[in-house]
Amino acid sequence: MSGVSGKSQGNILDVQDLKIHYPVHAGVFLRKVGEVKAVDGVSFSVKAGETLGLVGESGCGKTTVGKGIMRLINVTSGRVDFTTKAGKTVDLVPLDRGGMRPLRSEIQMIYQDPFSSLNPRWSVGDIISEPLDVHMPGLSAGERADKVAWLLEKVGLRGEQAHRYPHEFSGGQRQRVGIARALATAPRLVLADEPVSALDVSIQAQVINLMQDLQEEFGLSYIFIAHGLSVVEHISHRIAVMYLGNLVEIGPAREVYAEPIHPYTRALISAVPLPDPSLKRPDRQRLQGEVPSPLAKPSGCPFRTRCPQAIASCAEQTPPLVEVSPSRFVACLVVAGAGG
């Protein structure tokens, strides 16, 4: 599966066989009774200046992948190779807090909820300058204020609004503050976890455009984690689809959307409602049932219990991602003939 994530020039991030398992304890002595395999061997890469959309339904592990890359949670195994501004490639997995700290200025995060992710007792200026205090302690007060004002203007707010508090802003404006905070340390990679899901329709488009403008201006790479496929398709260069802790398909956004190959991707895309009543979609596929609990994950292919095309051998092995056409990877024994 080289190519999905393999060393290649221009990759800023290479995730290889990432596993994040949580032990489940029960009983009086809290003995370990099982394991939730939240992320179970995920590999992908992100190029410089690229947006990778990570999609899937709740519980598929997309947010956990993001947190694992940020090392906000412990990783069970795998590699996360990050290439710094200085051109050095570092595996983030073995790093401890202290080892991660200098790298955090280069990897930043934007959160879903612009209400809970900003400290209500801090002014917006304080919120944005906190990462500066950590990563650029040499700045004078004047330099810092200038930098905050510059950042606010970059995200479409006004410099003098630095003295205001989060409650004085609308949801969309708060998300702009969150973006300014992420940009403060001039990161190379930004993980955006559902950055527009909580916003009104007319505001979503503004924030998406802003993220694209900033990407162009600063050469940012994004991992855009979301469940809203229409938005992901619009902003991403490539899309990776997750199901129950595994990647099932990855490829160029337009191609994956227009011609999904994996049965799950096909069902997911066909379930997306479109704002056009004249479209009659007789070919629409309906998935039966629900995502199984990650505690009782099916053997073999995780999707086989709901898959309309499942065959007996799907229960036996987890299909690997194979390249079915240039730059398109699918993990399915049936449609991609993987492993068989």
Q: What is the distance, to the nearest Å, from the Cα of residue 336 to the centroid of all Cα atoms in its chain?
A: 25
**Phi, psi (deg, nearest 5) at residue 222:** -120, 140
Q: How far is the CB of 166 from another protein (least distance, A)?
A: 14
One of 234, 252, 255, 318 touching another protein (CB under 8 A): 234
CB nearer another protein, residue 38 or residue 184: 38
Q: How far is the CB of 6 from another protein (least distance, A)?
A: 28
One of 65, 93, 291, 324 touching another protein (CB under 8 A): 291
When asked if residue 278 is in the footprint of another protein (CB under 8 A), the reply is: yes
Cα separation, 305 vs 286, whole angstroms: 14
Token couple for 155: 């995200």
When asked if residue 294 is in the footprint of another protein (CB under 8 A), the reply is: no
One of 84, 123, 185, 206 touching another protein (CB under 8 A): 206
When asked if residue 50 is in the footprint of another protein (CB under 8 A), the reply is: no
**Phi, psi (deg, nearest 5) at residue 55:** -120, 160
One of 204, 221, 246, 265 touching another protein (CB under 8 A): 204
Q: How far is the CB of 58 from another protein (least distance, A)?
A: 6
Largest pairwise CA distance in the chain: 68
Ordered DSSP codes for 118-157: S-TTS-HHHHHHHHHHHH-TT--HHHHHHHHHHHHHHTTS
When asked if residue 242 is in the footprint of another protein (CB under 8 A), the reply is: no
CB nearer another protein, residue 225 or residue 338: 225
CB nearer another protein, residue 56 or residue 300: 56
Region of 168 on the Ramachandran plot (φ > 0 left; ψ -120 to 50 alpha; else beta): alpha
One of 27, 87, 138, 273 touching another protein (CB under 8 A): 273
Query: Which span sits near another protein by CB under 8 A: 28-36, 118-126, 184-192, 228-236?
Result: 228-236
Cα separation, 180 vs 149, whole angstroms: 10
Rounded to 5°, the CA angle 267-269-271 comes to 70
Ordered DSSP codes for 47-66: ETT-EEEEE--TTSSHHHHH
Contact 46/259 with Cβ under 8 angstroms? no
Residues 137-166 that bind another protein (CB under 8 A): none
When asked if residue 286 is in the footprint of another protein (CB under 8 A), the reply is: yes
Residues that bind another protein in the complex, under the rule CB under 8 A: 57-58, 170-173, 200-206, 208-209, 212, 227-231, 233-234, 254, 257, 267-268, 271-279, 284, 286-287, 290-291
